[in-house]
Amino acid sequence: MIAPGLTWQGERSPEVPAIPRLADLVWEMKWPVDHLDHTGLLHIELQTEVEDDLGERLAEYAIRLWRRDHLPVRSVIMLLRKTTRAPTSPFVIFWDQQESLCYTFEIIRLWEIPYEQALSAGAYAFWPLASLMAGTSVETTVSVAERLSNAPIPRQERSDLIGLAAGLAGLALPRDAVVAALRRNPVIDELLRESGDIELYREEAMREGKEAGLREGKEKGLTEGRAAGRAEGQIAGARRIAIITLEADLREAINQAGEEKVEEIAAHSATETLAQLRAPLGLG
């Protein structure tokens, strides 16, 4: 009656698991339609690699965002690296060759778009993307960072956007060249160090820390080695002096002992300790 032609196979758990999800970017947007402003959510996923379940995740994000805000959602995938692979839109779930769920999304290949388009956007948040777009270079990355350093936005936001621009540039350009070029500008260098996103300086700091640690360890090892050598030498010298002194003491006592005493000591020399041999001679 409910689903004719179907055969019951078994029961599944009715509980739907709540898997934690975190979208890359979700912005509230407004656009005019028939002289009226409409509001919705623009969901942007930044991808360096194309994953097989990307379309499925976008559909899930859209449903969750709709349930949270009850605003229409528009999803965009930004591919950051050149690739021959790309997800297929729409994401569709079929039931008996019919669509039971269909979610459409857009795909943007950054390397095909001139970087000037990002800089012409009114939103400063788009500017770091210029580091991955067509025509970009180390010089254009520095230019973007300079423009961001003068942007009329809070300092921490400028710092984070410059860090993002530098980090993205490292995906398409030689990272060392990007870092070296940016560090030549003292203002950019200072803002980069304050960035909460960039890993370039953390990696550099770790590398410098390791090198300093190795140098310090080596110097400390040499110093401790010398000290240990001196200590061991002093101990060995003291031990040698003690042995010589004790031997001289023992030889003198034996020379002055009578024949019977000497024979007694000789008879027990193989079985008694040095202290036991010294006692009959009056040596402590």
254-272 pLDDT, tens digit per residue, is 667 677 776 776 666 656 6
Interval 13-60: pLDDT, tens: 888 887 788 888 898 998 888 778 889 999 999 888 888 888 999 999
Which stretch of 78-82, 123-127, 164-168, 264-268 has the lowest confidence by average pLDDT?
Answer: 264-268
Interval 113-124: pLDDT, tens: 888 888 787 778
Domain definitions of the chain by residue range:
21-112, 114-198, 204-281
CA 282 to chain centre: 74
Residue 244 has pLDDT above 50, yes or no: no
Average pLDDT over residues 236-253: 53
Q: What is the pLDDT of residue 182?
A: 86
Count of CA atoms in the C-beta half-sphere (13 A) of 14: 0
3-state SS class at 136? coil
Instruction: Report the C-alpha gap between 278 and 57 in whole angstroms.
Output: 90
Q: What is the pLDDT of residue 42?
A: 93
Which H or E run contains 231? helix 200-256
Q: What is the pLDDT of residue 245?
A: 47
Q: What is the pLDDT of residue 249?
A: 60
Percent of the chain past pLDDT 90, that is, above it, reads 14
Residue 235 has pLDDT above 60, yes or no: no
Q: What is the pLDDT of residue 68?
A: 92
Q: What is the pLDDT of residue 59?
A: 93
| Max CA distance (Å), the chain | 132
- Residues 66-91 as b/e (b if ≥16 CB within 10 A, e otherwise) read eeeeeeebebebbbbeeeeeebebeb
Instruction: Report the C-alpha gap between 278 and 2 in whole angstroms.
Output: 110
Instruction: Report the C-alpha gap between 221 and 18 in whole angstroms.
Output: 55
| Paired residues of 74 in beta bridges | 42
- Say if residues 24 and 41 touch (Cβ distance below 8 Å): no
Q: What is the pLDDT of residue 106?
A: 93
Instruction: Report the C-alpha gap between 26 and 71 in whole angstroms.
Output: 12
Count of CA atoms in the C-beta half-sphere (13 A) of 185: 20
Percent of the chain past pLDDT 70, that is, above it, reads 70
Task: Say which residue the tokens 């993205």 belong to.
Answer: 168
- Report pTM: 0.57
